[in-house]
Amino acid sequence: MDWSIQEIAKLAGTTSRTLRHYDDIGLLAPARIGSNGYRYYDAEALVRLQRIMLLRELGLGLPAVADVLEREERAPHALRSHLEWLVREQQRLARQIVSVERTIDALEGGERLMAEQMFDGFDHTEYKEEVEQRWGADAYAKSDAWWRSMGADEKRAWQQRLASLNADWIAAHERGIDPAGDEAQALAQRQFEWLRGIPGTPGGGAAGPSREYFLGLAEMYVADERFGANYGGVDGARFVRDAMTAYAEREL
């Protein structure tokens, strides 16, 4: 009337190791244990095991399974919580799937792992006049010399860092968050840190860009469509400006 550990494992479609584990954690004890230490299971244990397997196939964890078996009336509640879990997981996977597909498409379109052919925030030949006009020939010269001194890899590094930041700005804007909120302010902080790495920024160096320079840039993003394009259009640029302005008011 009872079975050895392997027999019951086969009956229920599992392994003896699993049964030992369930015994260890107190989820399913054998009906009796022989004087030789062998575990033997009876029909009652089999039913319990089959219920365990059923719940496990639904994706419940062992603590949840134990909970349900202990008091069966909790089953609906436990299952509903679990269902929410599953739905959230599925949505997360759906988002990842979309992202991966987009990334594959981008790679096949010849792009690299992070867009680097995007707007070059340091194309000083293009912005020479504006920079000299606003912050002086000296600032331009220092910044330009620093930029020219970098190797291709380093340049790409900076571009990619900017690319990532810009992508995050766009995503933040798309989600419609508050420019003065924590998330947007964290982005403004990153923007600040990024600028901090560039010699020649007024008030720059370790201290970071000056309040005026920072605010000036923010306005430039809105005023100049060449910048605005990096943030998904003028609306995006306004969002960035608002966040940067709030940041400057608060921190600089």
Say if residues 221 and 161 touch (Cβ distance below 8 Å): no
**CB nearer to its own copies: pick between 96 and 133:** 96
The secondary structure of residue 33, as a DSSP letter, is: E
- DSSP letter at 4 equals E
Q: Is 36 in the site for DNA (CB under 7 A)?
A: yes
Q: Which does 20 bind (CB under 5 to 8 A by kind): DNA, its own copies, none?
A: DNA
> 32 in helix, strand or coil?
strand
Closest CA to 244 of 204, 206, 225, 217: 217
Shortest separation between residue 134's beta carbon and DNA, angstroms: 30
Please work out the total of residues on this chain that contact its own copies, with binding judged by CB under 8 A: 56
Tokens of 179: 């420019």
56 part of the interface to its own copies, by CB under 8 A: no
Q: Quick one: CA dihedral 237, 121, 213, 175, positive or negative?
A: positive
21 binds DNA (CB under 7 A): yes
Where are the alpha helices (H) located in 25-151, listed in sequence order? 43-57, 62-70, 75-108, 124-135, 137-149
Map the footprint of its own copies across residues 128-157, applying CB under 8 A.
153-154, 156-157
Q: Dihedral through CA 83, CA 86, CA 88, CA 89, nearest 10?
A: 170
Q: Which stretch binds DNA (CB under 7 A): 55-63, 79-87, 168-176, 178-186?
A: 55-63
List residues binding its own copies (CB under 8 A): 1, 7, 10-11, 13, 43-44, 46-47, 50-51, 54-55, 57-59, 68, 72, 75-76, 79-80, 82-83, 86-87, 89-90, 93-94, 96-97, 99-101, 103-104, 107-108, 112-114, 153-154, 156-158, 160-161, 164, 186, 189-190, 193-194, 197
